[in-house]
A and B are shown apart, each in its own frame.
Chain A
Amino acid sequence: QVQLVQSGAEVKKPGASVKVSCKASGYTFTTYGISWVRQAPGQGLEWMGWISSYNGNTKFAQSLQGRVTMTTDTSTSTTYMELRSLRSDDTAVYYCGREEAVARGIDYWGQGTLVTVSS
C-alpha cells in the first residue's frame, strides 16, 4: 500500500532553517512527484511547491521563492523540503503528498510534521 512517512516535529528559532523528510513506499517512486502543503494553526491550506521524483524539476509558490528548496533521493525514495530564514508565521503543520504533476490531485498524504518557530 502507498505510504508517505514524514520526519518528526521540530522547534526552531527565528532565522534558522528546517529540513523535513518524506519517505515514500508502496509504488514506483519516480513515476510521481511530491507536493508540499502547509497549514498554519487554525488556518487554511497553502501550497508550497512540487518536485518531480523523476528528474528533480521543481516549481515553487511565489511567496516562498528564495527561501525553500526541495530535493529528492531516489536511492531511498525520500523527498526533502528545506525552509530557510524561518519566521514566526512559518509555524505550521507541513504535509507532503504524492502528485503526478502540479494540480493533478494529491492522492496520498503524509501524516504531517509540526514545525514551531519560536524564540
Chain B
Amino acid sequence: QSALTQPASVSGSPGQSITISCTGTSSDVGGYNYVSWYQQHPGKAPKLMIYDVSNRPSRVSNRFSGSKSGNTASLTISGLQAEDEADYYCTSYTSANTLVFGGGTKLTVL
C-alpha cells in the first residue's frame, strides 16, 4: 500500500488560513469516509485533530476543519497561531482493511 501524498511543507502568517492536501486513490481516500488528520510537535506523540473526514474531537479547536473531494482530502487551519507550527499527517482506511499514512507536511508559521 503506497503512502498518501502530502506536500512536504506549507507556510502561513499568523491569522491567515492554510490548507494541506492528502491525495490517495479510489482504494483508500476516495473509497471511504475514514480519513483522519494528526498533529505532531517535535518529540511528542501525535494528536488526533480530525476523524471520519470532517469530525473534530471535542478538545480540538474549531479553527481546524477537514473535507474531501474525490481522492483528495484536505485539512484547513484558519486563524493560524504560532502553536499550530508542527508536522501534520493524514491517514485513510484502505480496501485491504488496513490503514495508510501520508508522508507528512511540515507547517511553518512565519
Contacts and interface: CB of A to CB of B under 8 A. Distances in A.
B38 interface: yes
A95 B99 contact: no
B99 A103 contact: yes
A8 to B, nearest CB: 16
Q: How large is the interface on A (under 10, 10 to 19, 20 to 34, 35 or more residues)?
A: 20 to 34
Interface in B40-92: 40, 45-48, 51-52, 57, 87, 89, 91-92
B99 A102 contact: yes
Contact of B101 (A45, A97, A102, A107): A45
Interface string A12-54: 0000000000000000000000010100000011110010000
Contact of A59 (B32, B47, B51, B97): B97
Contacts of B104: 44-45
B89 A59 contact: no
Nearest to A6: B45
A76 B79 CA distance: 44
Given A45-B101, A47-B99, A47-B101, A102 B93 contact: yes
A111 B44 CA distance: 8
Given A47-B99, A59-B97, A62-B96, A107 B91 contact: no
Contact of B52 (A35, A45, A104): A104
B45 A59 contact: no
A59 B95 CA distance: 13
Contact of B98 (A45, A61, A107): A61
Given A44-B103, A107-B48, A110-B45, A102 B97 contact: yes
Interface in A79-119: 95, 97, 102-107, 109-112
Interface of B: 1, 3, 32, 34, 36, 38, 40, 45-48, 51-52, 57, 87, 89, 91-94, 96-104
Which 9 residue pairs across A and B have the least CB separation, nearest first?
A: A105-B51, A103-B93, A109-B45, A103-B34, A44-B104, A47-B99, A103-B99, A105-B36, A45-B101
